[in-house]
Structure 1
C-alpha cells in the first residue's frame, strides 16, 4: 500500500511539473488546456484512493484545487472541493465534510450533472450519518434528478437510500433500494459500490435475525473490500461479523473479529467502527463471564466515548484550521486578482481624471491664447527673423569649422600615409631581401634564423604601429564603447612582462613590477592593455642596454595613479608639449633604430580619458621619462 501511494504521489508531482512548465512555455489557451488536464488527472487519482489512503487523497485534491484556482477552472475547483469532502466523510468528520461539499456546489457548473449528482448524493449520506434523515432523503432526491439515465449514478443514489431506510429500521424499503442498486450496478459494471451494498444487506438481515444470509453477504463484502482496497468497508465488515456471532452466541469468534475490526478502524481513523468494536467486545466477554476483560473493555469504551467529544473537537479544530489555511491560499490568489483589477480600475479612473483635467487645461489655455495671440504675433515674427539670422550665422560658422577640420584631417592623413610608408617600408624591404637571398641560396638556414631574430623587433614595431593606427582610426571613425570590469594592475603587469620578454632580453633591460597586488580598478580591460602595451613598448624603445623599466601604482582617495618609468633617453619640455597634439606629435627612432609613427601616445590619451582618467608625462632629456595615468577606484572592488 505504501509503495502504491508513493508511486501515485510521484505521478502527481510529474503532472504538476508538466502543468508549471506549460504555464511558461505555451500560449495562454494551450496553457489553460494543459492545466485543466492536470487538474482532472489529479482529481481522478484522489477519488480512486480516498477510501484506501484518505490523507494522501486529500493532499492530492488540495494540489488540484490550487492549480484549478490559478486559471479559474470552475469544474476543477468544484471537483477538488468534492474530493476533499469525500475524504472527511470517510474519516467520519461529517460537519467538516459538509463545509467542503457545500463549497463544491457553488463551483460545479450546470453542464456537469453527474458531478452535481455525486455531490448531492454524498451530502445526503453525510446528513444521514449525522441523523438528519429528512435532509438526507431530500439531497438524494436532487442527486437522482441530476443522475438522469446514468445507471452508475442511479445505483449510488439507491444505495444511499437503502442506508437511510436501514438506520430508520425500515428494513423492507432498505432491502428494496439495495436490490435496485445492485441491479443497476450490474448494468453499469460498478465494482466499487457493490461490496458496500453487500455489507449493508448483511446488517439488514442481521437485524431481521436471518444470520445465514447476513454471514453470506458479509463474506462477499469482505472479500470484495480487499479487491477494491476499501479499508472503511473492511473495518465495518469485521465489526459486523462480531455482531452476528454475538447474536449467535459464538462469543470466541465474535471476539476475534471485533479485535481485528478495532485494530483496522483505529489505524484508518474510523471512530464509529472503533467504538462499535469495543461494544461488541464488552458483550462477548460478559457472556463468557470474563468480567475482568469485560470491565477492561468497558473502561476502554467509556474512555473512547468520553474522549470522542474531545477527539472530534480537536480533530474538527485541526481540520478547520487546515480548511482555513487552504482557504487563505485560495484567497491569496483571489486577492491578487482583485488587487490587479482594482489597480486597473484606479488607473482607468486616473486616466479619465487626467484626460478631463487636460481638456480643462487646454480650454483655459485656449482662452488665454486667443486673448494673447494678437499682442504677441508681431514680437514672435521679429524673434523668428532674429533666430533665423542667428541660425544662418551659426550654420556658416559650422561650415567654416568643418572646412578647417577637413583640412586638418587631410594634413594628418597625408602625414600618416607618409610616415606609414616610411616606417613599414624598411621591415618589409628587409624581409623581401632576406627571402630573395634565401631563394637564391646566398644565405643558409642558420643565417636566416639569425637574421630573423635581428629583424624581429622591427617587425613587431611595425605590427604595433599598425595596431595603434587601426585603434586610433576606429576611435575617430565610429566611436568607442567601454566595457567596465575589475582589473588588477599587478596581474596586467605580469602579462606585459611576458609579452615583451623577448624585447627585454634582447636589450638586457630589467622590468620591475611594483604595482599593488590584489587591489583593483574599474575600467575596460582591452583599453588598459593597449595603454600599458604602448607605454612599455615606448619605454623599451628608448631605454639603452642594461636599463630598467618600472611599473608602479599608488592609491589616492578614490583614484589610482599608474606609472611606467624608464631611465632611457628622455625628452625636453618642448618635446613633451608636442606629444599630445595631432598636428605636432612626432616619433624618434629607438636606441636600436626602432621606428614608429607616434600615434600610440595619442591613442593612449584618448583611451585613458574614455575610462574617466588622465594621462601626463614627467621627463628630462638624458634622464628618462615617467608616463602617468589615473583611473577611478571603485571601493566595492578594492
Structure 2
C-alpha cells in the first residue's frame, strides 16, 4: 500500500516537473518569437516606402543569414501587411508555418495558422478556414494568449455568418462573448457585441440584434470609442426601419450620417441618405425627401455605387416622382429600375437554369441510386443470413479459444511456479556451498592464528621472560635478544595485517582509489621498513626503477603488493643474498619483477600458487613456508588495477615474481567499475 502510494506520488511529481519543463521551454520560445516579431514590425516600417518587389527583395536579404525562428517571424509580418497578394505571400506563409512547427514554437505557429485561415477565406476554402483557425485557437490557448483565441473565433463567426451558416456562427459567437467576459478588455467586449449584433441582424433575428446593439451603446457611453459609433448608429437605424419604428430609425441614421460627413465617407453618406430618403417617403415628409434626393444625385457621379443600392435608389426615386406628381421622371426612373432588375434577374435566371440542369442530372442519379439500393437491400438480406451463421460459428470458436486461453494460462503459471521452485532450490544449494566454503575459511583462519601466530608471539613471550629472569645479560646478548624479538613481532604484525586486509577485501570494504603516484619512493620506503624489521639474513637490495616513473595506483594496495613480494623474496633467499626490484614501461603498461636467488620452486609448486582463493585454506601444508595469503592478496590487488601476475622459478636457482599495471587511469578505472558491477 505504502509502496503504491510512493509510486503514485513520484509519478505525479515527475508529471509536474515534465509539464513545468515543457512550459518553461515554450515560454522561452514564445519570448524569442515575440522579440523577433517586434524586430519584424520595425523592419516593415523601415522598408514601407518602397515598391512591393523591392520590399520582398529587402526581406530575403534581411533573413538570409538568420535562424529559422526569426525568419518565420519576419515572413509573418510581411504576410500580415500584404495578405491579399496571394502569389507572393502563400509561399512565405507556408515556410513560416513549417519552420515554427519544426521548432515547436506554439505561439508563432498559432499566428501562422491564423493568417493561413484568413488567406483561405479569400479563396472560400471553408475546410481550410475551419481547421486553420481552430488550430490557431488551440495553440493560442496553450501559450496562455486568450486574445488570440478571441480573434480566431471572431473571424470564424463572421465567416460563417456571411455563408448563412448561422448555427456555427452563433456557436463561435457564444465562445467570443465568453472570452470577452473572461479577458475583461473593454475594446474586445465592444467588438464582440458589434459582431454578435451584426450576425443576428443578418439572420433576421431583429430583437436579439437590438439587445446587443444596446449593450454596445451603453459600453460606448463609458469608453467613448468613436470608431464604433458609426456602424452602431447605422445598423440600429436599419433595424428600426425593418421594425417600421421610423422615429428611432431616423434618430440613429442622422447620428451615423453626422459621423460619416465628419470623416468624408461619401459612399457611407450615400447609404445614409438613401435610408433617410426611404423614411421620408414612408412618413410623407416630401420636403426632407427632396433634400435627400438632391444630395444623392450630387454624390452619384463621384461614386461607384453597388448595383443593389442603385436598384433601391431607382425604386425610391420612382415613388418620390409619383408622390411629387412628376410623371415623366417617374417613368424614366421606373424604366431604369426594371432594366437594372432585369439584368439582376437574368443573372439569377442563369444560375437557376444551371441549378435545374444540375437537378435533372441529380434525378437521373437518384433513379440509378434507387435501383442500386434495391439490389443492395437484397444483398443485405443474404449477408444478414450469412452473418447469423458466421456469428454462431464465431461464438463457438470464441468459447473454445477462451477455454484454451485459460488452460494455457494455467499451464504457464504451473511452469513459472516450477521454474521459481527450481531457482529456489539452486539458491539453497549455492548458499550451502558458500556456507561450506566459509566454514573451511574460518577453520583455516583459526589454524593460521593458532599455528603461525602462536610461534612468533610465544617466542616473543619467552624472550621477554628470559630477559626478566637474567637481567645481568651482556649488552651484546640483549641486542641479539631484541633483534630476535623484532623479527618475531614483525612477522606476527605482517601476518595480522595480511589477515585483516584479506578479511576487509572479502567484505568489500576496501575501496579502490587510483591516483598518479611516483613508483620509486613507495618501493624504496617499503624495502627500508622490511630491511629494518625482518632482514636477519643480511640480504642486499637492488632497485632498478627510473625515479620519474609515475603510474595511477591505489597506494595502499600497491604498498601491500610490494611488501608481500619483497618479504617472500627475503624469506626464500640465502644469507647474504640479493633481492632485485625492477620496473620497465612497455605497450601502455609497466612490468614489475621481484627477483631472488634462493631455493626456487618446482613446476607443481608454481601451479598451486594462484589457484582459486579457497585453495590456500584447504591445504594441509602448514609448514614454515607460510600460509600463502600474501600471494593471494597480491593477485587480487593486481587484478583490481587491471594487471596480471605470474611466477618464473627454477629449483635451487631462484624465483622471479612478475606483475603488470596499466599506465593510464582510464584503464584502471574502467576495470574496477566492471569488477564492482559484477560484485553488485
Q: TM-score, normalised by structure 2?
A: 0.36
Larger Rg: 2
More RCO (CA 8 Å, sep 6+):
1
Q: TM-score, normalised by structure 1?
A: 0.39
